[in-house]
Amino acid sequence: MNNKKSCWGQTLPDYVLHYHNTVWGKPCHDDVTLFKMLCMEAFQAGLSWNIVLKLETQLEVAFDGFDPEIIAAYDKNKADELMCADGMIKNRKKIEAVLNNAKRYLDVQKEFGSFDNYIWSFADYKVIDNKFTSSTQLPASTPLSDKIAKDLKKRGFKFLGTVTVYAFMQSMGLVNDHLIDCEYR
């Protein structure tokens, strides 16, 4: 058993602790991984994060590794197929959002050279380190997540409101919300 202090505690399933310890709050600059995280956060809206993480492998297989170039070529038949896939979060609007967002993602890559350049520009290419001491301090959204969500919506992205965008910012390390005494900061 790992005895390091974790801001999410030690009683969570191993796959959740692994995510907390190795992904959440760690800066990510890989465009395919960023797209995957954006999709995972959109799938999480209204659900437990544990459910989405438990289905991560199945979702990754169903969506061809979350490669936005492949997904942008999906058609209605593929969306119908995804609705029946094992381990899929069977919400047509979320599935259609992933397909739509892949096209918008490629547009952003074309405009900015990479999605990484686009998203990190909102924070002047630096991690926002909040250094919270209690989980009660963690916001659901911030003025910056409002700004990013508004810009994404203007660009045609779907299922990415300010709360979902803030969760994405945490997951991809634009924001480090590990508590100050967490040994995984």
pLDDT in tens, 17-56: 999 999 999 999 999 999 999 999 999 998 999 999 999 9
pTM of the entire predicted model: 0.95
Query: Which residues lie closer than 8 Å to 78 by C-beta, 6 or more apart?
Result: 99
What's the domain range around 99? 27-176
In a domain? residue 153? yes
Task: Reply yes or no on whether 120 is catalytic.
Answer: no
pLDDT value for 3 = 66
Task: Reply yes or no on whether 49 is catalytic.
Answer: yes
In a domain? residue 156? yes
Structural domains counted in the chain: 1
In a domain? residue 120? yes
pLDDT value for 2 = 59
In a domain? residue 164? yes
Q: Find the catalytic residue in 49, 56, 60, 81.
A: 49
Looking up residue 33, the CATH number of its domain turns out to be 1.10.340.30
In a domain? residue 185? no
- Long-range (24+ apart) CB contacts under 8 A made by 90-94 are 91/43, 93/158, 93/159, 94/42, 94/43, 94/45, 94/159
In a domain? residue 58? yes
In a domain? residue 98? yes
Task: Reply yes or no on whether 41 is catalytic.
Answer: yes
Q: Could you say which residues of the chain have pLDDT below 50?
A: 1
In a domain? residue 6? no
